[in-house]
Amino acid sequence: MSEPLICPRCESDKTGVLTRSPVAGVWEVYHCEECFFAWRSTEPDFITDPAKYNPEFKLNRTELEQVSVMPTVPPLIYRHDKT
């Protein structure tokens, strides 16, 4: 089983192994530190292969930083009570 080099979704190389199968050698789960995508080595190639990943669902870090915020962050207020 080879280490993944790039994220299938955003194609970043900042990826790592999250976990390995309790039964040795069956699968590994990887994640992308840039776009938070996670995938398993045994998934279909249209999930694991950057070239085959559905273009409608491709998403990179820059795009992810521009999507809407939900819920919005409220203004800070000062309270007199102990909380």
Partner 1 sequence: MAYHDLRSYLDLLVSEGQLLRLTDPVLPEPDIGAAACAVNKLGATAPALLFENIKGYTNATVVMNVHGSWCNHALMLGMPKNTPLKEQFHEFVRRYEAYPGKVEERDSAPWQEVVLEKDINLFDILPLFRLNHGDGGFYIDKAVTVSRDITDWENPNTQNVGLYHLQVKGPTRIGIQPVPAHDIAIHLRRAEELGKDLPVAICIGNDPLISTVGSMPILYDQSEYKMAGALAQEPYPVVRTQSTGLQVPWGSEIVLEGRILSRVREGEGPFGEFTGHYSGARRMPVIEITRVSHRKNPLFEHLYLGMPWTEIDYLMGVNTCAPLHVQLKSAFPEIQAVNALYTHGLVVIVSTKRRFGGFAKAVGTRILSTPHGLGYAKLVIVVDETIDPFNLPQVMWALSTKFNPEFDLVTVPGLSVLPLDPASQPAGITHKLVIDATTPLAPENHGHYSQELGNPVGTELWLERLHTMVSSGDLK
The answer to whether residue 2 forms part of the interface with partner 1 (CB under 8 A) is no
The answer to whether residue 12 forms part of the interface with partner 1 (CB under 8 A) is no
- Among the listed residues 6, 13, 14, 46, the single contact to partner 1 using CB under 8 A: 46
Classified as helix, coil or strand, 52 is coil
What angle is formed at CA 60 by the lines to CA 54 and CA 63, rounded to 5 degrees?
Answer: 110
If the CB atoms of residues 3 and 44 are measured against partner 1, the closer one turns out to be: 44
- Among the listed residues 3, 55, 76, 80, the single contact to partner 1 using CB under 8 A: 76
Residue 29 has φ and ψ, to the nearest 5°, of -115, 130
**Sign of torsion over alpha carbons 22, 4, 52, 56:** positive
Distance CA(32)–CA(67), nearest Å, equals 18
List interacting residues with partner 1 (CB under 8 A): 9, 18-19, 21-23, 26-27, 29, 31, 35-40, 42-44, 46-47, 54, 56-57, 59, 61, 63-65, 67-71, 73-77, 79, 81, 83
